[in-house]
Structure 1
Amino acid sequence: MNHLDWDKSTVSAVIDGLKDKPGALLPILHGIQDALGYIPSESVPLIAKALNLSRAEVHGVITFYHYFRETPPGKHTLHICRAESCQSMGGVALQSHAKAELGIDFHETTADGAISLEPVYCLGNCACSPAIAIDGEVYGRVSAARFDEIVADVRTQA
């Protein structure tokens, strides 16, 4: 989905369905992201008006929580574990390699829209550190070379 082609009717439906709940902002943000994959900046005024909040308040919550995306995600989401076990087993070098190979930082998407790179605290694969996950499939003992193989395989699945 093009960032400019956001679905106003979906956003409005989520807002209308949740705006009367106590503490509705987070459920609305989750609902929009679940439906569209991200929270379009164009939806912020609609959310603010429905909840009688300022646009700055809504935007502040979106940017505070790293879970929320303001741009459409890639076709595949690649998570790199940043927990202590993975870090001690080469995770920091793997993160650097991944960012360089993909040409993006965390919370960004490759120029071709194929892969979004996200940090995660733990994938529960500590015995096989460092670990990554692509679209929920976990890989352990990931070296730079293995990372490149996994990414190449994912790209061919397009």
Structure 2
Amino acid sequence: MNMHISAGEFTARSLSIIASLKHLEGPMLPILHAIQAEFGYVPDEVKQLIATELNLSRAEVHGVVTFYHEFRDHPSGRHVLKLCRAEACQSMGSDHIADRARQVLGIDFHQTTLDGAVTLEPVYCLGLCACAPAAMMDGELYGRVDEQCLGDMLREARR
């Protein structure tokens, strides 16, 4: 849970998000995306709230959260760097870029730097296959990523 808000405020904000979206057909994914946008991750505490409000089991909600790589169960860093791991990017050197990112940051995929600046995530296709290897930093796409581009992104994120 976000340490800057009380448990009551956390519950109220979560229930407000759920209420605003539960009328949609297939509301779980929009609700999960909105929760993650609000808190930076999908806390365990909110899974039961979603389940109750959508008349589902907590296991069903947990299953959706763990199935999709997009959802985090812990807070991310201030910046999220996603590196494409799909075949087109691999054929153009993404393994080298990923190795370099892990080396420079001192972390592996699904981890956050100790200073909280960067979370490193794998992603399986950003749709930039013609511009491989591809990356995304805080929602901004980068194509033809090389060591210089990676270095620029990481320096900016660590400021």
TM-score (normalised: structure 2):
0.80
Aligned to 2:65: 62
Q: Cα RMSD between the aligned structures?
A: 2.4
Identity score, percent: 44
Q: What is residue 76 of structure 1 aligned with on the other side?
A: 79
Instruction: Decide whether aligned partners of structure 1 residues 75 and 54 sit closer, same or farther in structure 2, where only a CA change above 3 A counts.
Output: same
The CA deviation at 1:25 is: 1.7
User: Does structure 2 retain, via aligned residues, the 8 Å contact 1:132–1:142?
Assistant: no
User: Could you tell me which residue of structure 1 aligns to residue 14 of structure 2?
Assistant: 11
Distance 1:147 1:43 in 2: 35
Residue of structure 1 equivalent to 2:104: 101
Is 1:119 the equivalent of 2:119? no
Which shifted more, 58-67 or 130-139?
130-139
Q: Which amino acid aligns with 1:138?
A: Y
Separation of aligned partners in 1, 2:75 and 2:145: 30
Secondary structure in 2 matching 1:53: coil
> What is the aligned counterpart of 2:94 among 88, 91, 95?
91
Which stretch shifts more, 103-112 or 8-17? 103-112
SS at match of 1:80: strand
Matches within 5 A, 1:40-51: 40-51=43-54
Relative to structure 1, the CA distance from residue 60 to residue 150 in structure 2 (aligned partners, 3 Å threshold; closer, same or farther) is same
Structure 2: unaligned runs, 5 residues or longer: none
Which digits, 9 at most, give the CA deviation of each residue in 1:57-89, with x for residues without a partner?
111110001111111221111121223332112
CA distance in 1, matches of 2:102, 2:111: 10
Which deviations, in whole Å up to 9, do the C-alpha atoms of 1:75-114 show, x marking residues without a partner?
Answer: 1111212233321122112212322332333333222211
Within 5 Å, give how 1:29-48 maps onto structure 2. Answer: 29-48=32-51
Q: Output the CA distance in 1 between the equivalents of 2:127 and 2:104.
A: 22
Contact 1:45-1:55 at 8 Å conserved across structures: yes
Instruction: Extract unaligned runs of 5+ from structure 1.
Output: none
DSSP 3-state at the match of 1:118: strand
TM-score (norm: length of structure 1) = 0.80
Q: Give CA deviations for 1:114-140 in whole Å, capped at 9, x if unaligned.
A: 11112231352634x333232215253
Judge conservation of contact 1:18–1:28 (CA < 8 Å) in 2. yes
